[in-house]
Structure 1
Amino acid sequence: MTRIFNFSSGPAILPESVLIEAQQAIWDLNGSGLGLLECSHRSSLFESVLYSAADRLTRLLQLDSDQAVLFLQGGASAQFFLVPMNFLRGGRATYLDTGVWSTKAIAEARRFGTVDVPFSSAQSQFDHVPKPGEWGDLPAQTAYLHYTSNNTVYGTQYDYIPDSKGVPLVGDLSSDILSKPIDGSRFHLIYAGAQKNLGPSGVVVVVVRRSWLDKADKNIPSLLQYQNQVDNDSMVNTPPTFGIYVIDRMCAWIEAQGGLSVVAAKNQAKAAKLYGAIDATDFWRGTVQPSSRSLMNICFRSPSPNLDAEFIRFAESRGLSGLKGHRSVGGMRAGMYNGQTEAAVDALVSLLSEFEKTHG
């Protein structure tokens, strides 16, 4: 089989070496004679996988001993309601609104309390994220500050961690987690769907402070309590075993590359190459403010929607898949996650030039 170039924004491309490891583990997990998909989650064989994944994430995210790593289900979207269900409890929280996913998180949080939204870029079609501190002082008694670090639909990204001034910080890091070094110890809670930089769909990583759990609601269903998940090492019920295995292998791959500093440099170089091609001409145009550009999701357009559609068909005929923009905004969108290759980016840059010559 000849593999094509995959620019999907999720589920997204994974390194071929990780895919091969997963393929082999499905048949025989770590030389056990037992396949990963048929291995009991209660066995020592699988527990070693789960603990290895948690340990690797702890190192890569620079977590401290008060922070627990969980592997849950329901995707990041389930965390939109689980975070306020556990910690809002009729109080108030502050959310920064920078795209589709933060807007959905705000709507869910309002079921559980008062939500202040001191910053939103909705009126400018979510073309930027706030400058540090642009949201102003947080109201008294704010339970937490929530932000979405990278916005896949519109292609914007924070290049900093918001300073919450001592208020618990919650981050939806779904689409740029482990794409660059980060001080994870600054957060009270992190959540991230795996299907961008970490692994397959079906598993979400949650990092939560044990000391914050004292403030969590104890009168919600036990499966939905973070405390219960922490107490049971993510195994209140059967966890997503395959996804956890791939996360462990993906983290091992990052470490083998030389760590997050090396991965970040590669991601920056790939993005610079594609943004450079877009900016070099009047035919192609980016859709967000340069200071807020995402390194993970590069959104761009041609002079017309008809040409956008023609380019997407042209790219697919050349073996470049997944470039169609989100259905709500149109245009093109290139997924540039950790697993994306330089060869794929070079092929896309070349295609942009070729298409412009025949349609410009």
Structure 2
Amino acid sequence: MSQKVNRAYNFNAGPSALPLPVLELAQQELIDFRATGMSVMELSHRSAAYEDVHNEAISNLRDLLSIPENYEVLFVQGGGSLQFSMIPMNFLQAGQKAGYIMTGAWAEKAFEESKLFGDVYEVASTKAGNYRSVPSIDELKYNATDAYVHLTSNNTIFGTQWKQFPNTGDVPLIADMSSDILSKPIDVSNFAMIYAGAQKNLGPSGVTVVIIRKDLLEKANKNIPTMLKYGIHAKNNSLYNTPPTFGIYLLGEVLKWAKGLGGIHALEKQNEAKAKLIYDAIDQSNGFYAGHAEPASRSLMNITFTLKDEAAEKRFLAEAKQAGFVGLNGHRSVGGCRASTYNAVPYETCKALSDFMVQFQKVNG
């Protein structure tokens, strides 16, 4: 049972909250991990003790996401941002095109990186509406011969999220799920590849999860640097070089925590309840708070909103900080406010923010 400790109301967009029981276990095991006389950080990545940690994390991720056997699960480094380059390096062959669905800043970054490696184009974009929504499925126009189509499943800066994913048939669909992986059930078989930086829903920063279909691996470009080949990481069980062992250990413990809560369906139910608390405070404010995202595209992970004027926003953020809330400033590129309600953010933390918003409106409305 978790002891009473001083914990902030943490709404940071990433790195973000980790489950308190996981942090307490890591604290207990920090010096002597499973009677080895060493910290996990001191174990050789070739040791049996560490390989158990590594393989258990992969197994639990497979269980939680129901990952089919014809997919590899990899742990790589460089964050989601390195994947923006690795994907076209591996899969965008000469004479092919790749399509990118533009739904926010991270999709833009992925698109710009891909231009360095080949012929890419925009499948659809909601930029004209300041990314208040994701495109409808029937807006997506791509080519049957494309190397792949890329999308960002959840847009942290603008607070939008795909509710239904396109079926691209024989065209490989690749998704950046950095900010909503493990938050709700997904059909992994709908994607040729999923990637996610760990620091929002899976663990600490420094680990990137890649889930990749084996037949896509077989088509990868061989004439690129060794460490940028997905096939090398797959062949070596993500142990070709020294992985971020402590990060993978913590990721593995987060996955055990998620299973203990009841798995992916329990997480989804909890995330819906948490987000509803804050969206209700927005929707019932008679315009005092205004959500950025259109209701049909609202994210369960990142709730973005503004107040009636800049002075009110500054006062809101200042008083929230004094009340113990952390990370509510909107991204510098769009301003306003943002509450990131990832898996490890407790219901009670979201209830506290909802109550604070209602009370602030009563005083300042």
Is TM-score (shorter-chain normalized) higher than 0.5? Answer: yes
Identify the residue that residue 126 of structure 2 maps to in structure 1. 121
Q: Determine which of 202, 207, 212 is the counterpart of 1:198.
A: 202
Aligned mates of 2:109, 2:85 — CA distance in 1: 10
- C-alpha contact (below 8 Å) 2:93/2:147 kept by paired residues: no
Post-superposition offset of 1:132: 2.0
Indicate yes or no: 2:112 matched with 1:104: no
- 1:160-183 residue CA offsets vs partner (Å, 9 max, x unmatched): 222112211101000000001111
Q: Deviations over 1:127-149 (max 9, x none)?
A: 0001123213x214201111100
Shift of 1:354: 1.7
Does the residue aligned with 1:307 lie in a helix, a strand or coil? helix
Could you say what secondary structure the match of 1:133 adopts?
Answer: helix
Question: Is structure 2 residue 345 aligned with structure 1 residue 324?
Answer: no
Note the alpha carbon deviations across 1:30-59, whole angstroms, 9 max, x for none: 232211111111111000011001111111
**Equivalent residue runs for 1:1-360 within 5 Å:** 2-90=6-94, 91-136=96-141, 138-281=142-285, 282-360=287-365
**Gaps (5+ residues) in structure 2?**
none
Q: Give the 3-state SS of the residue equivalent to 2:206 in structure 1.
A: coil
Q: Is the 8 A contact 1:62 1:185 kept in 2?
A: no
**In structure 2, how many angstroms separate the alpha carbons of the residues matched to 1:35 and 1:270?**
35
Q: How far, CA to CA, are the matches of 2:193 and 2:33 in structure 1? A: 32
| CA shift for structure 1 position 8 | 0.5
Q: TM-score, normalised by structure 2?
A: 0.96
Distance 1:299 1:140 in 2: 36
Report the Cα offset of residue 24 of structure 1: 2.2
- Provide the C-alpha distance between the structure 2 equivalents of 1:325 and 1:59, rounded to a whole number of angstroms: 35
Q: What is the alpha-carbon distance in structure 2 between the residues aligned to residue 242 and residue 312 of structure 1?
A: 34
For residue 236 of structure 1, what is the amino acid of its counterpart? Y
2:76 aligned partner, one-letter code: L
Pairwise CA distance, 1:27: 1.6
Alpha-carbon distance in 2 for matches of 1:14, 1:94? 34
Amino acid at match of 1:305: E
In the alignment, structure 1 segments of 5+ residues that lack a partner are none
What does the per-residue CA deviation read over 1:284-330, in whole Å, with 9 as the maximum and x for residues that have no partner? 11011100000000001111122212211110100011100001000
Report if the CA contact (8 A) 1:191-1:204 is conserved: yes
User: For 1:67-90, what per-residue CA distance to the aligned partner results, in whole angstroms no more than 9, with x for missing partners?
Assistant: 111111100000001001000033
Alpha-carbon distance in structure 2 between the residues aligned to 1:205 and 1:94: 22
CA contact (8 A) 2:182 2:201 kept: yes
Question: How far apart, in 1, do the equivalents of 2:45 and 2:190 lie?
Answer: 31
Q: CA deviation at 1:359?
A: 1.7
* Alpha-carbon distance between aligned partners in 2 of 1:131 and 1:28, rounded to the nearest angstrom: 52
SS in 1 for 2:215: helix
How far apart, CA to CA, are the structure 1 residues paired with 2:86 and 2:330?
Answer: 29
Aligned equivalents of 1:47, 1:264: Cα separation in 2: 30
CA drift at 1:229: 0.7
Q: 2-side partners of 1:335 and 1:318: how far apart?
A: 17
Give the TM-score, by structure 1 length.
0.97
C-alpha displacement of 1:185: 2.2
SS in 1 for 2:93: coil
Check whether the contact 1:177–1:192 (CA below 8 A) recurs between aligned residues: yes
Residue type matched to 1:5 in 2?
Answer: Y
Q: Tell me which amino acid in the other structure corresponds to 1:312.
A: L
**TM-superposition CA deviations, 1:230-256 (whole Å, max 9, x none):** 111111211011111111111111111
Instruction: Write the letter of the residue equivalent to 1:320.
Output: F
Shift of 1:342: 1.3
Query: RMSD between aligned alpha carbons?
Result: 1.1
Aligned length: 359
**Secondary structure of the residue that 1:195 maps to in structure 2?**
coil
- For the 8 Å contact 1:189–1:209, the answer to whether it is kept is yes
